[in-house]
Amino acid sequence: MFKKLKRKSIQKQTDKNLKDRDLSNVNASAKSLGFLVDETSFRDFDKLYSFSSFLGFQPKDVKVFSFIEFKKKAPSLRQDQISNKEFSWDGTISNLNAKEFLNRPFDVLVGYYSGYHEFLDLMVSKSKAKFKVGVTGADDRLFDLLITIDINETEAFKTELKKYLTVLNKL
């Protein structure tokens, strides 16, 4: 019962964040890039960091933040990671690194996960990013651009992302 209540209130918080979104800088050019990734479906973060040079970003301007369902008891060196335990029942995030990531005004934020994901959807809705890109199957209210491609096809995604960002005068 508590899980259902938590999911419902997270959905309400996501809807509220969508209504409060500032769209004034959507057309700004891109100088920074952020990725939100679901680790259960994609783990090769080096490929995402290689996007920076292909798209013309400096490595310092690219950040990858991931979601993992359950954190392992063993200590990890990964700082940019969040689990479902770090979301409260009302949608508040207790992870300081996640709060810092979401408050950073990325020029482009890529939700690199497929389908509905209540925790990552909440993070996308809370993000201060100016332009948000998602993958097919995601909630189209969250993203300004949806790319129809499988997330395991990183090379195809990379070329499609560059094509669309060029057409939109972001690069």
Residue 149 burial (C-beta neighbours within 10 Å; 0-12, 13-18, 19+): middle
What's the pLDDT score for residue 136?
A: 84
84 token code pair:
């479902």
| Angle, CA of 138, 144 and 150, to the nearest 5° | 40
- When pLDDT is cut at 50, 70 and 90, the band that residue 132 belongs to is very high
The answer for residues whose C-beta is within 8 angstroms of residue 23's C-beta and 6 or more apart is none
What's the pLDDT score for residue 34?
A: 93
pLDDT digits (tens, 9 = 90+) for 45-82: 888 888 778 888 888 889 999 998 876 655 555 678 88
**CATH 3.40.1350 for the 2-69+77-167 domain, yes or no:** no
For residue 127, pLDDT over 90 is answered with: yes
pTM score, two decimals? 0.87
Domain ranges of the chain: 2-69+77-167
For residue 134, pLDDT over 60 is answered with: yes
